[in-house]
């Protein structure tokens, strides 16, 4: 009798244990694992967008730099004052637009993006680990962590749910797809539309990962509490069955220990990046809308601070042509006519300026033009000084020529009277006067012959000169004016 009693107690204990074990090993249904996969899809969308926008910001900054240098090259290569003035005004306005629409926007985005990328990528890693462990295998039709319905009629492993639900590929960064995220969540969090009822099967299917009872948890005889979680807090464990955590309110939810990571990922998904404009050479009809263009134009043309709009438009037409016109044949003509004279890495000989986007090479071209302009300006200044000196000496000779009598002529050390000449003027420069003129000329030119031809050394470009624009009235203090243009709109 005692033996039968012991056998009965053992069988009863085993039945109790098995029934408790089974009650705690429920799989997620299709509704349950889809809800988690939808969160993964939202975070993956966020991650991909942030990474893409980071690349775009970097590319836009480079495009802005390339555009500005090309405009500066066009200005440096221009041979007439009107074109230089028009491009100086355009450069000032384009730089202000770049600062407002590219640099500031990119800086704002780049400041937030690293944190958003970190938080979304981190949580996607958590989900990837959970799904990989929970879905790595199934045991026929009896044991698995993923099922189709409450009864667990069909059981799945990870590859099968990924084939059936596209969003279940989102946590795997080796996979790419178009994720479905619209209309999946209630406002303020990641709670699924339609609630979480039916997300966990009511029939146990031996998913030990989802077991939470004292004898069936991660530790034999461990203590169970509602703070035990899976999948980064998305699944809450209990002594009876797992449940999907309530994620209805995640905005600012950083105090709950189990929700800190998903709350940060949610906040990252809500961030709106500042829209940037892709830099491009301004078209004629866009000029008036460029930030600072009108101000730069009024400074360039030395107009009143707030001239009538009709007057501004008239002056703009004179400088840039009609509003519906095309700048490619005027201000931007050099993009096609300025070409490389030699191979520079990937940029080959005769490559047009329009096709060069290497910042270092563009900077070299600009430097060469700048040096050439400095040399040319210096030589022009020397020539002008020599011309003034020659004019001064010519005035001495003219004074001698005006003297008619020999006595007065010979009294001037720079003059001598040549009585052998048949025709006037007989009072001409003396040897001392000619010597003084030669010394004066040498002082002005440094003893060198004055030449105005381009003798710049190694150059990375050649210039095919286009016809010059019509003459345009430009103030004499041109260099000072260019400086004013740049600083007037800052």
| CB-based burial label for 425 (10 Å; 0-12, 13-18, 19+) | middle
Distance in angstroms (rounded) separating the CA atoms of residues 442 and 233 = 89
Q: Quick one: tokens of 147? A: 């099922």
Nearest residue to 130 (alpha-carbon basis) of 238, 37, 257: 37
Q: Is the peptide bond preceding residue 468 cis, with omega within 30 degrees of 0?
A: no
Q: Are 337 and 464 in contact (CB under 8 A)?
A: yes
- pLDDT at residue 222 in the model: 64
Calculate the dihedral angle through the C-alpha atoms of 19, 20, 25, 27, rounding to the nearest 10 degrees.
Answer: 60
Buried b (16+ CB within 10 A) or exposed e, 76-106: bbbeebbbbbbbbbbbbbbbbbbeebbbebb
Nearest residue to 372 (alpha-carbon basis) of 418, 325, 338, 410: 338
Nearest residue to 336 (alpha-carbon basis) of 467, 465, 468: 465
Q: Quick one: tokens of 452? A: 């105005």
**Binned average pLDDT, 10 residues per bin, the chain of 490 residues:** 48 41 77 98 96 87 92 92 90 85 81 92 97 92 92 94 97 95 94 94 90 67 69 87 90 76 94 83 87 82 76 85 89 92 84 93 92 89 84 78 90 90 89 77 55 39 37 43 49
Distance in angstroms (rounded) separating the CA atoms of residues 257 and 261 = 8
Strands 427-429 and 243-244: unpaired
User: CA torsion sign, 287 to 293 to 295 to 298?
Assistant: negative
- pLDDT at residue 453 in the model: 39
- pLDDT at residue 469 in the model: 30
Q: Are 150 and 31 in contact (CB under 8 A)?
A: no
Nearest residue to 207 (alpha-carbon basis) of 283, 138, 255, 301: 138
Q: Are 206 and 25 in contact (CB under 8 A)?
A: yes
Q: Quick one: tokens of 27? A: 């799989």
Distance in angstroms (rounded) separating the CA atoms of residues 225 and 473 = 86
431 alpha carbon, distance to own chain's centre: 70
Tokens 């509602």 label which residue?
A: 226
pTM value? 0.69
Nearest residue to 488 (alpha-carbon basis) of 277, 301, 282: 301
- pLDDT at residue 447 in the model: 53
Query: What's the angle, vertex CA 265, arms to CA 172 and CA 127, rounded to 5?
Result: 30
């Amino acid at each position: 009798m005692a033996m039968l009693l012991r056998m009965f107690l053992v069988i009863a204990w085993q039945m109790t244990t098995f029934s408790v074990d089974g009650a705690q090993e429920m799989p997620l249904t299709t509704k349950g694992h889809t809800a988690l996969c939808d969160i993964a899809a939202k975070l993956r969308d966020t991650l991909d967008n942030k990474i893409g926008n980071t690349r775009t910001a970097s590319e836009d900054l480079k495009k802005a730099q390339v555009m500005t240098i090309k405009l500066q090259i066009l200005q440096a290569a221009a041979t007439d004052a009107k074109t230089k003035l028009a491009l100086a005004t355009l450069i000032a306005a384009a730089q202000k637009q770049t600062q407002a629409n590219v640099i500031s926007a990119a800086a704002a985005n780049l400041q937030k993006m690293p944190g958003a990328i970190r938080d979304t990528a981190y949580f996607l890693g958590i989900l990837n680990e959970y799904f990989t462990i929970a879905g790595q295998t199934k045991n026929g039709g009896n044991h698995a962590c993923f099922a189709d319905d409450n009864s667990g009629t069909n059981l799945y492993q990870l590859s099968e749910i990924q084939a059936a639900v596209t969003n279940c590929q989102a946590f795997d960064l080796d996979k790419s797809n178009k994720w479905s995220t619209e209309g999946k969540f209630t406002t303020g969090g990641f709670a699924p539309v339609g609630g979480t009822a039916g997300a966990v099967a009511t029939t146990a299917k031996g998913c030990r990962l989802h077991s939470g009872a004292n004898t069936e948890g991660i530790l034999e005889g461990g203590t169970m509490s509602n703070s035990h979680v899976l999948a980064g807090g998305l699944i809450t464990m209990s002594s009876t069955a797992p449940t999907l955590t309530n994620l209805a309110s995640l905005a600012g939810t950083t105090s709950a220990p189990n929700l800190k990571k998903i709350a940060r990922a949610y906040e990252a998904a809500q961030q709106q990046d500042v829209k940037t404009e892709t830099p491009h050479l301004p078209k004629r009809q866009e000029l008036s809308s460029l930030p600072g263009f009108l101000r730069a134009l009024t400074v360039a043309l030395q107009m009143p601070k707030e001239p009538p709009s009709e007057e501004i438009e008239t002056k703009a037409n004179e400088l840039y042509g009609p509003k519906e016109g095309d700048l490619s044949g005027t201000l931007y003509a050099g993009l096609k006519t300025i070409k490389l004279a030699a191979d520079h890495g990937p940029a080959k000989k005769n490559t047009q300026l329009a096709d060069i986007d290497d910042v270092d090479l563009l900077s070299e071209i600009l430097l060469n033009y700048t040096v050439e302009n400095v040399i040319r300006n210096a030589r022009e200044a020397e020539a002008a000084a020599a011309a003034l000196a020659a004019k001064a000496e010519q005035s001495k000779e003219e004074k001698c020529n005006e003297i008619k009598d020999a006595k007065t002529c010979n009294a001037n050390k720079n003059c001598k009277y040549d009585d052998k000449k048949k025709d006037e003027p007989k009072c001409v420069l003396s040897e001392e006067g000619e010597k003084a003129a030669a010394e004066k000329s040498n002082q002005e030119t440094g003893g060198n012959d004055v030449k105005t031809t381009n003798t710049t050394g190694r150059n990375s470009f050649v210039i095919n000169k286009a016809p010059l624009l019509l003459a345009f009235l430009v103030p004499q203090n041109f260099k000072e004016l260019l400086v004013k243009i740049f600083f007037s709109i800052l």
